[in-house]
Amino acid sequence: MGKTKVKFADPLKIEKSEQLWSKTIKVIPGGALTFSKAPFQHVDGVAPKMLSHGKGPKVWDVDGNEYIDYMLGLGPAILGHADDEVNRAISDSLEHGISTSLVHPLEAELAELLCEIIPCAEMVRFGKNGSDVTSGAVRVARAWTKRDKIACCGYHGWQDWYIGSTGRNLGVPKAVQDLTLKFEYNNIESLQRLFDEHDGEIAAVIMEPVNFFEPKDDFLNKVKSMAKENGAVLIFDEVITGFRMSLGGAQEYYNVIPDLACFGKAMANGMPVSIVVGKSEIMQMFDEVFFSFTFAGELASLSASVSTINALKKRDGISQIWAMGERLQKGYAQLVEELDVGHITKMIGFPFWPEYLFLDKAGSPSMEIQSLFQQEIVRRGILTRAGMMISSSHTNIEIDKTLAVFKDALIVVKEAVKTDNVLNWLEGEVITPVIRPPVEE
Ligand SMILES: Cc1ncc(COP(=O)(O)O)c(C=O)c1O
């Protein structure tokens, strides 16, 4: 029994974090500029709210506490934070100016590189955030098909056309909300239903090609055929899978080539750049469709993207990410068995993006138990949300340290669950989700 003795971690010193947060919240509504970085995504009162810097797989909060980071700025830092090679590329590019007055040759240089690595890419347009390019792709699909409705599956960003279909739809006109329809992953009938009910009206099928589950029963090819038969443009939203599942995204991994695809997050190791790519005949519509903004060709980000792609190739970064994810998943499964907590937790997802889940007695996801786990791991130096982002700078050392922390935390969780009063063990607030289900009116 010695092995499974409950060990409590000391509370973190987060006074400076709290002080700076009170200052921030006075001048920035909501405090965090991205919901996913907000205190309600961690155990508020226990976890830090403010970070000061990061290097490789580690970050430090403003109080000086060190963490192994599995948030990676919500995905972008695919090589690890403050990568020397990418930083050099950024600082070299600064000599040319940041935003040029006419087109710069680097735009075509990066576009050519992307056309080499992404199977569907014959032409490229740049954006800044994932939402820019999913929205650009949707607008082009509407222009191409002369239809208005969109079928979607997954998360696609903050713009009206998508967020109006979620519970975070404040400010989105009802008329816009009604144009976006949802289908379920691995449920081809749910897409068929949309095409039946909105015959001849659906401009695009946009989807995350994978999320946490493998496509089953040739799902991606079936979606592709169904979109084609119904005259809709197929758009893969590879904002997460891009450069993480493989350099060419899930479309390369599964060899299912969409009409258009969107990449973002991990394209430039943290610099803001995203792309919509695809078949020339559709991409040419961007000549007329308004997708035009000041910072699209900003050079520091484009240089960072070239450098990130080259570094991922040179360092075999994607294999490293998969190997570390597999080590984490295998280790977690072993812990679950060793501690006999299979009724409380499991890890799902692909090695490039594993996610831990905590379940209540009825087998439903439990934010309370997850919060207790997160309390225990953040106090022991692991910063993550349930979906864990791994960079190519994570090594066996970080993964093994993480698993050792997970073991101590799972022992606490197991004991807490036995008492039937998990909240009693929690010293901060229960985590709440960013997107709630839409509310029926
Ligand atoms: C699959 C997917 N698409 C689109 C987006 C939107 O990207 P951004 O937040 O950069 O606008 C995200 C962001 O999390 C995403 O995960």
Q: Is the pLDDT score of 440 beyond 80?
A: no
Mean pLDDT of the chain: 96
Residues 147 and 280 in one domain: yes
Distance from the CA of 37 to the center of ligand 1, in angstroms? 13
Report how far apart, in Å, the C-alpha atoms of 257 and of each of 81, 219, 233, 396 are. 32, 13, 12, 34
CA angle 406, 409, 410 (to 5 degrees): 85
Q: Is residue 441 part of a domain?
A: no
Q: Is residue 433 part of a domain?
A: no
Residues 55 and 94 in one domain: no
Q: Is residue 366 part of a domain?
A: yes
List, in order, residues 6 or more apart from 26 with CB less than 8 Å away.
none
Which residue range(s) make up the domain with 249?
Answer: 84-314
Q: Is residue 241 part of a domain?
A: yes
* Residue 11 token pair: 């509370």
* Residue 323 token pair: 């190997």
Residues 289 and 381 in one domain: no
CB 422 within 8 A of CB 6: no
Q: Is residue 105 part of a domain?
A: yes
pLDDT digits (tens, 9 = 90+) for 335-383: 999 999 999 999 999 999 999 999 999 999 999 999 999 999 999 999 9
Report how far apart, in Å, the C-alpha atoms of 15 and of each of 38, 64, 290 are. 17, 11, 47
Q: Whose CA is nearest to atom 1 of ligand 1?
A: 239
Q: Is the pLDDT score of 157 beyond 80?
A: yes
CB 248 within 8 A of CB 113: no
* Residue 434 token pair: 């960013």
Residues 276 and 220 in one domain: yes
Q: Supply the CATH number for residue 355's domain.
A: 3.90.1150.10
What one-character-per-residue DSSP string does 178-205 give?
A: TTEEE--TT-HHHHHHHHHHTTTTEEEE
CB 257 within 8 A of CB 120: yes
Q: Is residue 153 part of a domain?
A: yes
Q: Is residue 326 part of a domain?
A: yes
At residue 8, the pLDDT reads 83
Cα separation, 215 vs 204, in Å, equals: 20
Residues 44 and 178 in one domain: no
CB 78 within 8 A of CB 308: yes
Residues 95 and 74 in one domain: no
**Per-residue confidence at 187, pLDDT binned at 50, 70, 90?**
very high
Distance from the CA of 241 to the center of ligand 1, in angstroms? 11
Residues 138 and 25 in one domain: no
Residues 257 and 188 in one domain: yes
Residues 142 and 224 in one domain: yes
Residues 88 and 47 in one domain: no
Ligand 1, closest atom to CA 128? 10
List, in order, residues 6 or more apart from 154 with CB less than 8 Å away.
185, 206, 207, 208, 211, 237
Ligand 1 binding site (Cβ under 6 Å of any ligand atom): 129-131, 134, 154-158, 208, 237, 239-240, 264
Residue from 266, 271, 269 nearest 98 by CA: 271
CB 46 within 8 A of CB 379: yes
Burial (0-12, 13-18, 19+ Cβ within 10 Å), 192: middle
pLDDT digits (tens, 9 = 90+) for 69-113: 999 999 999 999 999 999 999 999 999 999 999 999 999 999 999
Residues 71 and 127 in one domain: no
pLDDT digits (tens, 9 = 90+) for 29-73: 999 999 999 999 999 999 999 999 999 999 999 999 999 999 999
Ligand 1, closest atom to CA 130? 7
Residues 127 and 53 in one domain: no
Q: Supply the CATH number for residue 189's domain.
A: 3.40.640.10
**Which of these three, 314, 334, 367, is where a domain ends?**
314
> What is the domain count for the chain?
2
